[in-house]
Structure 1
Amino acid sequence: MPRYRHDLPQMRGDLFLTDGGLETTLVFLEGLDLPLFAAFPLLADEKGREQLRRYYLPYLELAKERGMGFVIDTPTWRASQDWASKLGFDSAALDGLNRRAVALAEELRDEFAHATGPLVISGAMGPRGDGYRADFRMSSAEAKDYHAAQIGSFADAGADFVSAVTLNYPEEAIGVAQAARAAAMPVVISLTVETDGRLPSGHPLADALAAVDDATDGYPAYYMVNCAHPSHFAHVLADGGGWLDRVRGIRANASALSHAELDEATELDSGDPAALAADYRALRQTLRHLCVVGGCCGTDHRHVRAICEAVAPA
């Protein structure tokens, strides 16, 4: 059993929404150039911040329309030191941008605070390496040290919790959870899988989740699956088991293509929003404690609206 109790609004029973595929929307639908698929440099000037604000608005308007809670994920998936260094940002600049990301989320929360359900701010983090490949791997101690700075920025800036998404091997997830615990920050761990339902490292999803819980005394508030199509992992969830109670969020890709195929794609595969929504409806029957739904690569507000209508009909 977890030693630490988290009291996040999205864990109290009502379903929350979150956004879709930020980077794919900005690149393929908005025509922006995002080197290294990093959105956080947009925070550096007012024009970029306004672009990000416009991105979030349709999702928040949907939450307003439906009276639902919303998780505002900061645009900081790539905002850790290795990626930032490649883009020319030193540690001080990076800290400032992570803090500014939380400030932007706070502005959005203030604007919609009286029109929706609860709004919570998630400091979003990504893997040190490539989310699609587990070819660069750290020990859990190395991962704790690496991710501590970004978690510290989010904690100091006032984020409600941190979310580490598209993690693809257990040791990095363990290190993130340990760093979050050291900073007294609730953490959500989101794992990605290949078409066979296993992590890119080869670990079965249930085993990876258990490894993180075992190494951290169950510290993560809950787990999610992201950056994979439901057809890649629905069969794993259908096998059942008590571990499913720890999976509370889904942010699926629009496309059923593999990670390798998506890496090579030059055009956006936005799939079928209605079919994706039907998959989410089926997943909700399996995941009894599902509390957060949104999208990942290839999804936009149309997909999230369809998902919302499927899993939380008016």
Structure 2
Amino acid sequence: MHDHRHDIYLTDAGLETELLFLDGRDLPDFASFPLLDEPAGRERLVGYYRDFVALADGLGVGAVLETPTWRASADWGARLGVDAEALARLNADAVAVLREAVDAVRPSVDVVVSGNLGPRGDGYLVEQRMDVDEAAAYHRPQVEALAGAGADRIAVVTVTYAEEGAGVARAAAAVGVPVLVSFTVETDGRLPSGQPLADAVAQVDRLTDGYPTGYGVNCAHPDHVHDALDGLGDQAERVHLFRANASRMSHAELDEATELDDGDPLELGAQLADLRRRHPHLTTFGGCCGTDLRHVRAAGNALTGAAVGA
């Protein structure tokens, strides 16, 4: 994923839930990329990422920033009235926004600018299942746009079944850019497809000749990942990333939520540090739904043993 300059990397947090619930913005289809075309929205994004770079720099740990492009692929773009040309431009601009945030801080730590992809369908459900070649063809334009704009790597997150993750990895291999594949797991630690995490990792590796630099889990509470992580066996060394939800709610409950469940940042930070002790192959930690800078700061403090600050 990176040159391992740091033992710990912090990611950003739950951008979409923050914009929706804390900013009170209307986010059709949970898409944050349209903000790139609004001067105030772009400024908000630069400020959001800048805070995470500054946090990591202050703690002396690495940072991984994910572009706000989880929904910036063809099917979602079409729903939002954004054509292929505009999507390519917006994906490229998202990389520029992250670089702007990094330049504003001029950190002494390693910062990975990651081009972020989401699933073609819902992030919680397995709807129309693509085979690997279909998934590679669908995701390739976005991979090309992000890589062409200078993203350090590609990450596909909230993947619900193995073939889609493998398709993104194949697209990344064809473009020649590193890739990380991150699955979502249900409260029982399995993917929404019902597959155990270890089996999904093994399947993607098998389908791609082990191309991904690593794997992750995101959009789950720490309570929900113990079984998945404990069951990794030989696949443990392949799993590096965990982006936690603040809430213990299931995905079905989160989908229906009309208020933000931001949990307890200090508790979440302590749980992530505990996961790191139990699973030292995890190097990269951050937030997903319901989290913001407070949660990632608490995680950074707990992971580095720094004084617990506000």
Q: When the two structures are superposed, what TM-score results if normalisation uses the length of structure 2? A: 0.96
State how far apart, in whole Å, the 1-side matches of 2:275 and 2:108 are.
25
State how far apart, in whole Å, the 2-side matches of 1:45 and 1:262 are.
28
Give runs of aligned pairs for residues 68-87 of structure 1, distance below 5 A: 68-87=61-80
1:144 pairs, out of 116, 119, 136, with 136
- Which residue in 2 is equivalent to 1:39? 32
TM-superposed deviation, 1:289 = 2.4
State how far apart, in whole Å, the 1-side matches of 2:227 and 2:200 are.
16
2:97 pairs, out of 91, 104, 110, with 104
2:290 pairs, out of 287, 298, 301, with 298
Give runs of aligned pairs for residues 246-261 of structure 1, distance below 5 A: 246-261=238-253
TM-superposed deviation, 1:60 = 2.0
TM-superposed deviation, 1:46 = 1.5
State how far apart, in whole Å, the 2-side matches of 1:12 and 1:207 are.
30
Partner AA of 1:150 in structure 2: Q
Partner AA of 2:255 in structure 1: D
State how far apart, in whole Å, the 2-side matches of 1:240 and 1:265 are.
31
Deviations 1:35-80 (A, max 9, x none): 1000000111322101111222322221122122211211000000
1:270 is aligned to 2:278: no
State how far apart, in whole Å, the 2-side matches of 1:237 and 1:101 are.
32
Identity %, equivalent residues: 54
Q: Unpaired segments of 5 or more residues in structure 1?
A: 1-5
Equivalent residue pairs, number: 306
State how far apart, in whole Å, the 2-side matches of 1:237 and 1:277 are.
18
Question: Considering only aligned residues, what root-mean-square deviation do their CA atoms show, in Å?
Answer: 1.2
State how far apart, in whole Å, the 2-side matches of 1:258 and 1:79 are.
25
- Which residue in 2 is equivalent to 1:61? 54
Say whether the 8 Å CA contact 1:40–1:79 is kept in structure 2. Answer: yes
Partner AA of 2:169 in structure 1: A
1:288 is aligned to 2:280: yes
- Which residue in 2 is equivalent to 1:120? 112
Q: Secondary structure at the match of 1:121?
A: strand
State how far apart, in whole Å, the 1-side matches of 2:227 and 2:54 are.
33
Q: Secondary structure at the match of 1:232?
A: helix
Partner AA of 1:214 in structure 2: R
Say whether the 8 Å CA contact 1:224–1:250 is kept in structure 2. Answer: yes
Q: Unpaired segments of 5 or more residues in structure 2?
A: none
- Which residue in 2 is equivalent to 1:203? 195
State how far apart, in whole Å, the 2-side matches of 1:216 and 1:146 are.
17
Give runs of aligned pairs for residues 101-250 of structure 1, distance below 5 A: 101-113=94-106, 115-239=107-231, 241-250=233-242
Q: Secondary structure at the match of 1:41?
A: helix
1:23 pairs, out of 16, 27, 31, with 16
Q: Which moved more, 1:61-70 or 1:217-226?
A: 61-70
Q: Secondary structure at the match of 2:13?
A: coil
TM-superposed deviation, 1:235 = 2.3
Q: Secondary structure at the match of 2:167?
A: helix
Q: When the two structures are superposed, what TM-score results if normalisation uses the length of structure 1? A: 0.95
Structure 1 segments of 4+ aligned residues over 3 angstroms from their partners: none
